[in-house]
Amino acid sequence: MSINKIRSLESPAADRISSLPCHVLEKILGCLPLRDAIRTSVLSKRWSYKWVVRSELAFDKANVDGGLLKTITYQVLSIHQGPLRKFSFRVPNSDFLPDIGYWIRFLLKKNVQEFSLRFPHQTDFRLPSHLFKYQDLRHLELCSCKFHPPPDFKAFSRLVTLNFRFVTFEPTSFQTFLSSSPLLERVALFSCSTFDSFIVDAPNLKSFEFTGETKSICFINTPLLEEIIMGLFYVDISKSFAVPESQVTLQNIKQLNFTFFKLSQWATYTLHLISNCPNLESLHFMFYEYIVSKDVVERFIHQLRSQGIPHSALKQLKRLHIKLNLFFELEMEFVKNLISKCPLLERLRLRWCTNFDTLEIDAANLKRFEFNVNSKSICFRNAPMLEKVAVCFNARVLTNPSPVCSNLTRFFYYMPVLQALDLCGSVLEYLTMGGVPQSSPTALNNIKSLNISSMSLRNIEEVSGAVYLIASCPKLQELTIECDPVDHIVEPVVQFLRAQSISYGALKLQRVHVSMYIGIEMEMEFMKFILAFAPVLEEIFLWNFAYLLDRPGAQMVDEMKQFRRVSPNMEFIFEEVDVEDRVLREPEVVIEVQ
């Protein structure tokens, strides 16, 4: 309810909000931004000071004038009453440093449980000693400052969550601080001080996130740890292969994430850590690899083949996600080793990969697969549970122009329950190599959704591949196509589309969505094909940027209405998206025609 609406309730009998219990009113005010909560003071005398007992104060607007923000903060703190559960402040500039120290001292008597202080960039601000007297503190968030506790400080006895970004501290004393916080459950450190060796000793810890520089991370007393997220910056390769002997088995780890990660620098440690997580369910890697010496690669591959990752370590793994900018032999060997040892793997994502020569998927429990790579061959040898496949090659596939059998047959070898297929144009071209089989692969029998991105209507192989899939999926209901820009007519494609003929009622399509549609002749012929053989079609949705269109969408819709169509009840929708100075705005024109 708006403030104006509340204000109009002049009759005491009608003012039901003011008569609510105090704790309910406090809850309502707590749901409002601080500015709106203060504005309720003008509603009536009853509301004049209700907000002053608010348990949360957040001064985190980035667009407030610095002088005004300082004045407001002093005024709010001076009249606030009662305990303050949460205090959050985003510091605009260094002019606030003296005031921050005063506010921290003032808040000492407020029993603050959640404290957040964020500076816009790295500063020399050293947190005052009064902060370390906040014995009720449960959540601490700091950004771009210095964390140096006084000598007699041990820990925050009730601290549950710690989130530091660009915070400097003395690593050894910080580790002592962590181990002395008995209730600590979540730790997140991003670009903080460099550790020579980071020993994590936190018996109640459940989630650990670290992005920064260290030569070693060891978990020695973390029996409840469930999630590890690590972004490891550059370290000296010659010193990065040491594995901590005191590393213990991490029985409760369900998720491991490695980002900004160079496998060649952390290979041995990675294998060791994964091997010590027997109940791991989710594993995520992002590699940024550059030139790696041959001896490093050979050493790792030898270790992987001779020792590798034990089957017991990955027996519970269900999700594997790997992103990298270059796929060298080292990473390829690592990925193949991982996949082969995951009997329960349900989701596999390989993205941004290059130089992947061939890939055969043999994963009996796999349900979702995403593959965004350069590859010469991909085949699903054993995927009886696979429901969704998304494959995109980053470049045109260079392969044998006269393969022994159709790539369609190889690709859809055994996927009996496949329901959703997401391909790009280059994959369509790959699938048509070797010709198309006379009988459709049985893997296409249950597909209900087909998405084709970056499809070139100038490429007859891509167009023929799309038509083949559409006609070969008897249960297909939704078709989505993203067209590549086309600037001229390709007559062979036009003639191919005009020659298509399938049995009446073969298509069960209900909805067709085409983006970047400009109405060139190949696109219009494609629409004719769809309209002529889809008797239950309900909607064709087309859209493009207005500045790319040579004629209005309404004119194209009028032309399509003249095409032969077998669906009695369908709707055309053409959406022209207006772009001003190449900045996307809300759609201005939507044409709906029955």
SS3 for 357-374 is EEEEEECCCCCEEEEEEE
Contacts of 90 by beta carbon, 8 Å cutoff, 6+ apart: 59, 60, 61, 62, 118, 120
pLDDT at 282 over 90: yes
- Which run of H or E residues covers position 99? helix 97-107
The answer to whether position 7 is within a domain reads yes
Higher per-residue confidence, 330 vs 520 = 520
- Which run of H or E residues covers position 478? strand 478-483
Q: Kindly list the distances between the CA atom of residue 496 and the CA atoms of 433, 456, 493, in Å, as whole numbers in the listed order.
A: 17, 14, 5
Domain membership of residue 38 as a residue range:
3-53
The answer to whether position 475 is within a domain reads no
Mean pLDDT of 370-396: 81
Helices 521-532 and 553-560, packing angle to 10 deg: 40
Higher per-residue confidence, 535 vs 39 = 535
- Please report which confidence band the pLDDT of residue 261 belongs to, taking 50, 70 and 90 as the band edges: low
The answer to whether position 33 is within a domain reads yes
Q: pLDDT digits over 130-162, tens only?
A: 999 998 999 999 999 999 999 889 899 999 999
- How many percent of the chain have pLDDT more than 90? 39
Higher per-residue confidence, 570 vs 266 = 570
Q: What is the pLDDT of residue 242?
A: 43
The answer to whether position 14 is within a domain reads yes
**Residue 560: DSSP 8-state:** H
> E strands within 266-416?
282-287, 319-324, 347-362, 368-382, 388-393
- Centroid of chain to Cα 152: 43
- Please report which confidence band the pLDDT of residue 356 belongs to, taking 50, 70 and 90 as the band edges: low
Mean pLDDT of 418-434: 91
Q: Kindly list the distances between the CA atom of residue 245 and the CA atoms of 292, 307, 523, in Å, as whole numbers in the listed order.
A: 27, 17, 64
- Mean pLDDT across the chain, nearest whole number? 80
Q: How many Cβ atoms from other residues are within 10 Å of residue 585's Cβ? A: 10
* Residues 185 and 205: beta-carbon distance below 8 Å: yes
* Residues 517 and 487: beta-carbon distance below 8 Å: no
pLDDT at 9 over 90: no
* Residues 518 and 489: beta-carbon distance below 8 Å: no
The answer to whether position 274 is within a domain reads no
d(CA 366, CA 282): 14
Q: How many Cβ atoms from other residues are within 10 Å of residue 67's Cβ? A: 10
Strand partners, 355: none
Q: pLDDT digits over 214-249, tens only?
A: 877 888 889 999 999 988 765 443 343 344 544 567
Q: What are phi and psi of 530, to 5 degrees?
A: -65, -50
d(CA 532, CA 567): 8
* Tokens describing residue 150: 């006084």
- Please report which confidence band the pLDDT of residue 109 belongs to, taking 50, 70 and 90 as the band edges: confident
Mean pLDDT of 161-174: 94
Q: What are phi and psi of 392, to 5 degrees?
A: -145, 125
pLDDT at 591 over 50: no
Q: What is the pLDDT of residue 49?
A: 59
The answer to whether position 324 is within a domain reads no
Q: What is the pLDDT of residue 329?
A: 65
| Number of domains the chain contains | 1
Q: pLDDT digits over 43-80, tens only?
A: 545 555 566 667 778 887 766 666 778 887 887 787 77
Q: What are phi and psi of 258, to 5 degrees?
A: -120, 120
The answer to whether position 121 is within a domain reads no
Strand partners, 261: 287
- Which run of H or E residues covers position 76? helix 66-79
- Centroid of chain to Cα 515: 23
pLDDT at 265 over 80: no
pLDDT at 25 over 70: no
d(CA 257, CA 282): 8
- Please report which confidence band the pLDDT of residue 23 belongs to, taking 50, 70 and 90 as the band edges: low
pLDDT at 22 over 90: no
* Tokens describing residue 399: 């392969």
Higher per-residue confidence, 288 vs 220 = 220
- Which run of H or E residues covers position 129? none
Q: How many Cβ atoms from other residues are within 10 Å of residue 111's Cβ? A: 15
The answer to whether position 22 is within a domain reads yes
Contacts of 303 by beta carbon, 8 Å cutoff, 6+ apart: 267, 268, 271
